[in-house]
Structure 1
């Protein structure tokens, strides 16, 4: 059975992102090659990857060359830096599927580029990117930006383990607050 992974914000070919996010690479070719290697060490050929946007700043030919080198079947959800190019541009670059809008995964996970507003009564988890090294508190947001995951996609199983641990911690804290009020 294929594994499922989530990732975002590679910014292949984007020089300025190295400064904006303090990426530990000497130059753009080094960044691109390190991220390709990290991806392929993590993802198998038959796995599914949801890329949640801001994939590449390169032309179609260079972007296609990177997509060809990456393991897995890749679905791209367009990010703010991807939307200047058409859906067909990204399909021609080699993505298996391309969505201009968010997707729902397993009836519970809202896959988007930008984080969505989620109040505590909403029964969903928003898996997103866009905010790079920042994180929202709580179990309703899960940031898959490469800066938080050593420039690798994060597996669905790993994400679930983290969410279960966070949920348990949250429930335990809620119980402690309830006990104090008795």
Structure 2
């Protein structure tokens, strides 16, 4: 099965509690990290693929080393397709490539993309990027992105799939914080957002 997620921001202490950017209801980064690891592993197996659309981890005020990030990522089930976000650094991807576990199916755990990747599902085409894209008029083509956290682009073709994205309100049943999304759940988000935007026009 394929999943998508973005903007986990493991270790990002400035997001804890109430803030104007991306509030997270945890007292410690350890509690936040563990919630996201548990939510991920409760639905993903090592046979699955997860597209991580950037901003994996961040520690404000001091450097978060690649081994520290790898220690978290190695706990996550599945093959991870990592798309570089604005808080992801070249030395992290280089370290992960040099320390890339082989999963039970004989394939490497990590693959890497600087800008994005195209995935097709159920007759739709998805551009997976960290930053939102502007398409104009399209047919059955959507941009899955992160970066803007609890903000929603005002276009039906842009779907924020970050851990704290507002589009997650249209996923039923609701998912725990940090759970990657299936493409079937992405389709729920697309339908919910389209209906919401149509209401705003009246």
Q: Indicate the TM-score class for this superposition, using the shorter chain for normalisation.
A: 0.7 to 0.9
After superposing on structure 2, the runs of 4+ consecutive aligned residues of structure 1 that deviate more than 4 Å are: 164-167
TM-score of the pair, normalised by structure 1: 0.82
Residues 86 and 33 of structure 1: is their aligned pair in 2 closer, same or farther, counting only changes over 3 Å? closer
Corresponding residue of 2:81? 75
Deviation at 1:96, TM superposition (A): 1.4
Q: What's the CA shift string for 1:108-158, capped at 9, x where partnerless?
A: 111000101121x12320000001111123420111110135221111111
**TM-score normalised to the size of structure 2?**
0.75
| Counterpart position of 1:146 | 163
Please give the alpha-carbon distance, in whole angstroms, between the structure 2 residues aligned to 1:104 and 1:30.
33
Distance in 2 of aligned mates of 1:27 and 1:154? 25
Q: In 2, Cα distance between the equivalents of 1:136 and 1:15?
A: 26
CA contact (8 A) 1:111 1:126 kept: yes
CA 1:138–1:163: 2 relative to 1, 3 Å = same
Cα deviation, residue 87, structure 1: 3.5
User: What residue is the counterpart of 1:180 in the other structure?
Assistant: none
For structure 2, which runs of at least 5 residues remain unmatched after alignment? 59-63, 101-108, 169-176
Structure 1 counterpart SS, 2:164: helix
Following superposition, the deviation at residue 64 of structure 1 comes to: 1.3
Asked if 2 retains the 8 angstrom alpha-carbon contact of 1:110 and 1:126, the reply is yes
Match of 2:116 in 1: 102
- Give the structure 2 partner of residue 122 of structure 1: 138
* Displacement after TM superposition at 1:93 (Å): 5.5
Moved more, 42-51 or 71-80: 42-51
Q: State the 1:159 CA deviation.
A: 0.9
| 1:35 maps onto 2:36 in alignment | yes
- Length, aligned pairs only: 170
